[in-house]
Amino acid sequence: MASAGIETAAMAKASKGRSKPDRFAPNYWPFVIPALIVISAVIVFPWVFTVWMSVNSWTLGQSQVFAGLDNYIRLTTDMRFWESLWHTVLYTALSVLLPLFLGTLAALIFDAQFPLRGLIRGIFVMPMMATPVAIALVWTMMYHPQLGVLNYLLSFVGIGPQEWIYNQHSVIPSLVLVESWQWTPLVMLIVLGGLAAVPREPYESAEIDGANVWQKFRYLTLPMIAPFLMIAVIIRSIDAVKSFDIIYAMTQGGPGTASETINIYLYNTAFAYYDIGYGSAMAVVFFILIVLLSFVLMMIRQRVNWSDGEAR
């Protein structure tokens, strides 16, 4: 009986010892709550408020009236919206493909060993460090039909003056050229990281088998750097689809509406025409399109990873 009592007392003491850390366990919620408040104030509340404004007819200076889905129905028949959507798709596609090609080519060049390679790399990446608005102002002067340096240089090879951003047919390619000039170095750095991780043994085997430069790039380099190229595509797509500063600083969506992307049209609708409700509906639709684009890109990214893992 005495031993049973001692055993019971020992078990109770052990149980008390185990429960003490549970009572005084650290509570991390006081550290999480401020972050949740900030996220709610900065992200959640603005989007909830935007959705609410999108179902109201509200022109700044007038009373707010509930409109249901009228603003969204209006989008389906707004040809200017569909035109701006096409401009956004075209601008994004060109702003991804051109830097991807030029950045990959630059990475292949800078991956080779040659004198002053580090210095030239540093000079090459300088454009992406500049402020977009400053870049836009400089390129606007370069694009000037009479005083621009680009037309002056073209005159040496017998090409007449071009209208660049002042012509509705050449304005988007001209803007893409500025975007590519700034962000090609970023793609180059990403691809250089992929080339640094590529093993050299397959190239030695390919050289023994008599493979030429194109065959080594096509069947060895390209498949092994494909995940890095996909990362570059994702980053450039996200950056290009939301581009605003360069376009607005150079053309404000002109001439006419030839370079008006969704961002520019949304800005003009909400802050130039003061149609807050319609601009909010446009913002919600644009957000949904970005989410769908991100979902597609991530699915492609996972497929690239799967293919790369299968190859290994």
Q: Strand 65-66 to strand 56-57: parallel, antiparallel, or no bridges (unpaired)? A: antiparallel
Asked if 265 and 81 count as a contact pair (C-beta separation under 8 A), the reply is yes
Pick from 292, 299, 300: nearest CA to 85: 292
The DSSP string of 250-268 is HTTT-STTTT--HHHHHHI
What's the gap between Cα 281 and its chain centre? 22
Q: Which domains does the chain have, with CATH numbers?
A: 65-304 (1.10.3720.10)
pLDDT in tens, the chain (312 residues): 445 455 555 555 555 555 445 555 567 777 788 888 888 788 888 888 888 988 888 887 778 888 889 999 999 999 999 999 999 999 999 999 999 999 999 999 998 888 888 888 888 999 988 888 999 999 999 999 888 899 999 888 888 888 999 999 999 999 999 999 999 999 999 999 889 888 888 888 888 888 888 888 888 889 889 889 998 998 999 889 988 999 999 999 989 899 999 999 999 998 888 899 999 999 999 989 888 888 888 888 777 654 444 443
The DSSP string of 174-220 is HHHHHHHHHHHHHHHHHHHHHHHTS-SHHHHHHHHTT--HHHHIIII
